[in-house]
Structure 1
Amino acid sequence: MTDLLRHRPTTPPSRGLVEVARQLGVRPPPVDPSVTGLTLGTSDCCPGDLFAAVPGGRAHGAAYADQAAERGAVAVLTDPAGAAVLDATEGAARRLPRVVVDDPREVLGRLGAWLHDHPTSAFTTLGVTGTQGKTTTTYLAESAVGGTVGVIGTIGTRIGGRPVASSLTTPEAPALQALFAVMREEAVDVCAMEVSSHALVKGRVDGFAFDVAVFLNLGRDHLDFHDDLADYFDAKAMLFTPDHARRAVVNVDDDHGRRLLDRTDLPVTTFSTDGRAADWRAANVRPHRLGTDLEVLGPAGLEIDLSVPLPGRFNVSNALAVVAALAPEGHDPADLAAGIAASPGVPGRMERVDRGQPFTAVVDYAHKPDAVTAVLTALRPVTPGRLVMVIGAGGDRDHGKRPLMGEAAARHADLVVVTDDNPRSERPAAIRADLLAGARGGPAEVVEIGDRREAIAHAVAGARLGDTVVVAGKGHEQGQEIDGVVHPFSDRAVLEELLGATP
């Protein structure tokens, strides 16, 4: 059984509710229970918690305060609207003392950091943002540093290699500060964390400043949440302000990275894999079937060899970002390079599946146009045969990127098998039609097979010596969501099964 690490510190904080109110600059309540935790969700509520009841998309959080009280909450942090909801309830929450502020979500980050006595002061924090590459970069950072490292991101949270229960790429502010307190107890050296645009807009990383903020790239994504690409960039740029970081590391090969240089007031370290002027550069880049070898040129004439055990120029960029971020924090660049070279890889990110078949099989999380292009252009030079991609698109998300994904696949692959990803509440056929609208204009052969397992089986059955089959879109995911039900499904497991049956 997996050893699941706790997500709250063994020794909880203890602050009086009156002290909490004074910290927030508001009128203290007439009673002063001890607060030993802070939570936004009733399912995570523990005895002694201050329950933060904030406005939600469907209901005010105060409507769930009775459940929090039943689970042991000792007080409620809310706004005037939430206080009115509490006044109207007949349940246990009506008797709980409350702290009322104008915008409770806005204070959660700094309140959580204060409650846990600012745990990030005990280790180096690395915040990584970008449209693609965040997960890989945090995993490479973990390998580069060695020792005890915390990782927070899409695939989950780990501390010293042990998993921690988590559900968001970036946890809500109270849960995040509790995780940081656990990391302090576990004597973590570095925490490498993915920082999504959602997290920045929703204040999940408020209340502390990363030691280093890394910008990888920016392309089309999350336009179901942001108004347009400019709004998406503005959200990402929030990380590169003094409130959120002390130092910036920026990829100047990216157009938006170069724009960021003019926007940030932070000290900046730059990096490039394309020969641009930068503090850290990749030189003599030599791709091969299993990854890339190169030389890293750093400040003061530094030169080190680096072997990246993942294919693709974009993974060279991810690895270079790690060196540029951590070397100035006191880590020896040669040691960082050795750690990266020894990386076991990243689940669902250019992950090879090998059962002795005469062709290459890869699982990747690519689910945006730029990512589809990056994966296929990385694999083309090391594929002597045909390049085959199995691809779908998620439902209830940005519709506009679907034909662009299809077009990118058909432009760079030889065979595109359009299938279902996570349709969610949408009609799968309609999603596939959007992909096909882009794919059928390209030079590749295009096949539509809705059932994802059958689509993978079709790609595998037709693969020959020297071919590469890429199953894209779901990566590390272990389920497929259809009409609100998540069915067990792993691209890797299906590939392994099919490849094991391949003569």
Structure 2
Amino acid sequence: MTSPTARIRPTVPSPRSLADLAAAFGLAATRPVPAQAQVSAVASDNRVVADGDLFVALPGARAHGADFAADAVRRGAAAVLTDAAGAERLADLDVPVLVADEPRTVLGPVAAWVHREPAEQLATFGVTGTNGKTTTSYQVDHLLRALGRRGGLVGTVETRAGDQVLPSRLTTPEAADLQALLAAMRELGVDALTMEVSSHAIAMHRVDGVVYDVAGFTNLSQDHLDFHGDLESYFGAKAELFTPARSRRAVVVVDDVWGERMAAAATVPVETVRTVPAPAGAPAADWTVDHVEPHGTGSAFTLTHADGRTLRTATSLPGGFNVANAALAVVMVLASGVPVGDVAAALDAADGLSARVPGRMEVVAPGDAADPRVVVDFAHNTDALELALAALRPTTPGRLVVVFGATGDRDPGKRGAMGAAAVAGADVVVVTDDDPHDEDAAVVRAAVLAGAREALAAARAAGREVSLVEVAPRADAIRRAVLDAAPGDTVLVAGRGHETIQEVGGVDLELDDRVEARTAVHARAERNTSA
């Protein structure tokens, strides 16, 4: 078992009565709760329990959390909350035991109550969608800070509470950890929170206890079907964010049918954003993007509301999908009640949406007369890979090279499609390993290669020459791609982005695509110098 991520919690606890908690949530107790009993935080992982915590013992697929309750008490837990089956195992425990029919569904609200509803004291922004959650969240946070807010950020890359930064283990923390984090943010003077909200987090009740002031939707495409089963269930999980139980307002990008469906399904007030021409018969969007022009490494664009309000700004990240992410970020802040003039002034002062997102279209080497451009991106599904390649093509005078793989033990249905997308978008395709997890890496690569080879035959029939190679391990694939590339080429290393650990057969190996790419660029420079 891997060690838990370090936990941010308030430094000054504010204890609450255990009897009041039980009454507030209608929880039974296996014995009378002492009037003086108090809890100051909530934990569902016994390894992070501290003095005065309420330990929530959840039933699991492999074990019941009640089996770890004694250890939690040794670490300082003042009480336990569990289900009836767990309570039966804890008859001899020396601390009060509360019982809920489904403890997971009350975990978030209970933790929020114990920490005195910290989310209600922050301006809260939640972003969901298959691709673009991280980039949009960073841009929202960037804009809020430009407006003078003290921001907190929770997401795939990092968790930031004021000036405290921790790497993230989950896109969205478990419910108890999230509420402790929000309470710590409040203590640190944070007044605006931006979060990535994954479909897993919604389905697994991690964000229960938070109602976002503004929820944003980027897009939806095939991903995580190993968890959700099918696209309809995946869509349904995300759609829950746009209900009064989880948000107050919504901003939805309606560039495709999934966005249009989300806007229609939402049961909270919605503002829509369209960044591409509308198909015939499509409803008009509230905000539209036009006058998109190259601007530095990214694009400048104009946002226009149906009522005539306009705003022009720019994003430093390349590609039409990053224009969509930037537009969504701006409209989410506008939807929170900030006037257009204030947003425009803040963006002008901040040089537009210039937040750099680790591992998202991150340029490791800019390229010159002697060397290729090298870019690392998190594109880890078919749609994201297609968009990343399309974004880099216009600024690549030479060949477009992609190094990528597919994740083991995850959604095998997308592997062949990713291979086909790579062949359709690149000139040189290097298939390697992503995170094999417990699956045979060669089997995963074979599935990707099967889709790539099928697309390769079609490409050659159409007169396109595409090179397809298989290279493993991943570090060797990155090195080979960079060393073999020519000046004017672009090498895209896709799939892992900011990640620094590769899991192979249950073993965590250090592997950072950016480090490997820089090492390869350095090796290339040494080779050129000695030639």
Equivalence map 1:118-267=2 (5 Å): 118-146=117-145, 147-164=149-166, 166-267=168-269
Q: Which residue of 2 aligns with 1:52?
A: 56
- How many equivalent residue pairs? 495
- Within the alignment, does 1:370 sit opposite 2:370 as a pair? no
Aligned counterparts of 1:298 and 1:352: Cα–Cα separation in 2: 33
- Residues 121 and 186, structure 2, Cα contact 8 Å, conserved in 1: yes
CA gap of 1:408–1:181, structure 2 versus 1, over 3 A, is same
**Alpha-carbon distance between aligned partners in 2 of 1:343 and 1:183, rounded to the nearest angstrom:** 24
Structure 1 pair 439–288 and aligned structure 2 pair: CA distance change class (3 A) = farther
Structure-2 separation of matches of 1:5 and 1:298: 44
Given the alignment of the two structures, is residue 30 of structure 1 paired with residue 33 of structure 2, yes or no? Answer: yes
Q: How does 1:56-455 map to 2 (within 5 A)?
A: 56-87=60-91, 94-146=93-145, 147-164=149-166, 166-276=168-278, 277-287=284-294, 290-298=297-305, 300-331=307-338, 332-338=342-348, 339=350, 341=352, 343-354=354-365, 357=368, 358-442=371-455, 443=459, 444-455=466-477
Q: How far apart, CA to CA, are the structure 2 residues paired with 1:336 and 1:225? A: 40
Amino acid at match of 1:414: D
Cα 1:412–1:7 shift into 2, 3 Å: same
1:189/1:335 CA distance change after superposition, 3 Å: farther
Q: 27-36 vs 371-380, which deviates more?
A: 27-36
Which range moves more in the overlay, 269-278 or 424-433? 269-278
Deviation at 1:190, TM superposition (A): 1.6
> What are the superposed Cα offsets for residues 401-421 of structure 1, whole Å, 9 maximum, x if unpaired?
100100000111001000111
Mapped contact 1:144–1:340 kept (Cα < 8 A): no
- Supply the distance in 1 between the matched residues of 2:437 and 2:399 (Cα, whole angstroms): 32
1:143, 1:340 within 8 Å by CA — same for their partners in 2? Answer: no
Q: Which runs of 5+ in 1 are unaligned?
A: none
TM-score (norm 2): 0.90
**Corresponding residue number in structure 2 for 1:457:** 479
Cα 1:336–1:196, aligned 2, differ >3 Å: closer, same or farther? Answer: farther
Q: Structure 2: which 5+ runs fail to align? A: 279-283, 460-465
Indicate conservation of the 8 Å contact 1:149/1:161, yes or no.
no
Q: Provide the C-alpha distance between the structure 2 equivalents of 1:223 and 1:315, rounded to a whole number of angstroms.
A: 25
SS in 2 for 1:333: helix
Q: Could you tell me whether the CA contact under 8 Å between 1:7 and 1:182 is conserved in 2?
A: yes
Q: Which amino acid aligns with 1:220?
A: Q
Q: Per-residue deviation at 1:67?
A: 0.9
User: In 1, are the aligned partners of 2:275 and 2:290 still within 8 Å (CA)?
Assistant: yes
Distance in 2 (CA, whole Å) between partners of 1:424 and 1:30 is 45
Distance 1:447 1:252 in 2: 37
1:60-101: CA deviations, max 9, x gaps? Answer: 1001101101100011101100011213x6xxxx22211111
The amino acid that maps onto 2:327 is L
Instruction: Note the alpha carbon deviations across 1:268-288, whole angstroms, 9 max, x for none.
Output: 011011133322221111236
Distance (whole Å) between structure 1 residues aligned to residue 481 and residue 28 of structure 2: 65
What's the offset of the Cα at 1:303? 2.3
Q: Is the 8 A contact 2:127 2:218 kept in 1?
A: yes
Q: Deviations over 1:245-298 (max 9, x none)?
A: 000101111211111222122100110111333222211112367111112223
Q: Contact 1:288 / 1:311 at 8 angstroms: preserved in 2? A: no
- Return the letter of the residue paired with 1:67: D
SS at match of 2:140: helix
Measure, in 2, the Cα distance between the counterparts of 1:440 and 1:288: 37
Q: CA RMSD, aligned part only?
A: 1.7
**Partners of 1:265 and 1:44 in 2: how far apart?**
37
The answer to whether the 8 A contact 2:39-2:54 is kept is yes
Residue 334 of structure 1 aligns to which amino acid in structure 2? A
Rate the CA distance shift 1:342–1:132 in 2: closer, same or farther, 3 A.
closer
Contact 1:319 1:340 in 2 (8 A): no
Q: Classify the secondary structure of the residue corresponding to 1:322.
A: helix
Give the deviation of 1:428 after TM superposition: 1.0
Q: How far is 1:199 from its partner?
A: 0.6
How far 1:9 moved relative to its partner? 1.1
The residue type equivalent to 1:293 in the other structure is A
CA contact (8 A) 1:289 1:311 kept: no
The separation in 1 between residues aligned to 2:275 and 2:366, in whole angstroms, is 33
More deviation in 333-342 or 214-223?
333-342
Distance 1:340 1:400 in 2: 42
The 8 Å contact of residues 355 and 500 in structure 1, kept in 2 or not, is answered as no
| Amino acid aligned to 1:376 | L
Q: What is the deviation of 1:340?
A: 6.6
- Shift in Å, 1:106: 0.9
Distance 2:271 2:329 in 1: 12
Alpha carbons of structure 1 residues 70 and 327: separation in structure 2 relative to 1, 3 Å: same
Sequence identity, in percent?
48
Distance 1:6 1:84, change over 3 A: closer
How far apart in 1 are the matches of 2:167 and 2:44? 16
Taking the aligned partners of 2:157 and 2:167, their CA distance within structure 1 comes to: 11
Q: Secondary structure at the match of 1:441?
A: helix
Aligned equivalents of 1:30, 1:478: Cα separation in 2: 46
- How far is the alpha carbon of 1:138 from its aligned partner? 0.7
How many Å apart are 1:143 and its aligned residue?
1.3
Alignment TM-score, normalising by the size of structure 1: 0.95
Deviations 1:475-497 (A, max 9, x none): 00112111111111111011111
**Change over 3 Å in CA distance of 1:289–1:454 after alignment to 2:** farther
Q: Deviations over 1:113-149 (max 9, x none)?
A: 1111111122210010000000001111121111421
Measured in 2, the distance between the counterparts of 1:61 and 1:22 equals 23
Give yes or no for contact 1:79–1:103 (8 Å, CA) kept in 2.
yes
- Cα displacement (A) at 1:334: 0.6
Greater shift, 102-111 or 336-345, is seen at 336-345
Amino acid at match of 1:478: T
In the alignment, is the contact (CA less than 8 A) between 2:296 and 2:316 conserved in 1?
no
Q: How far apart are the structure 2 equivalents of 1:197 and 1:260? A: 14
Q: Which amino acid in structure 2 is aligned with residue 501 of structure 1?
A: A
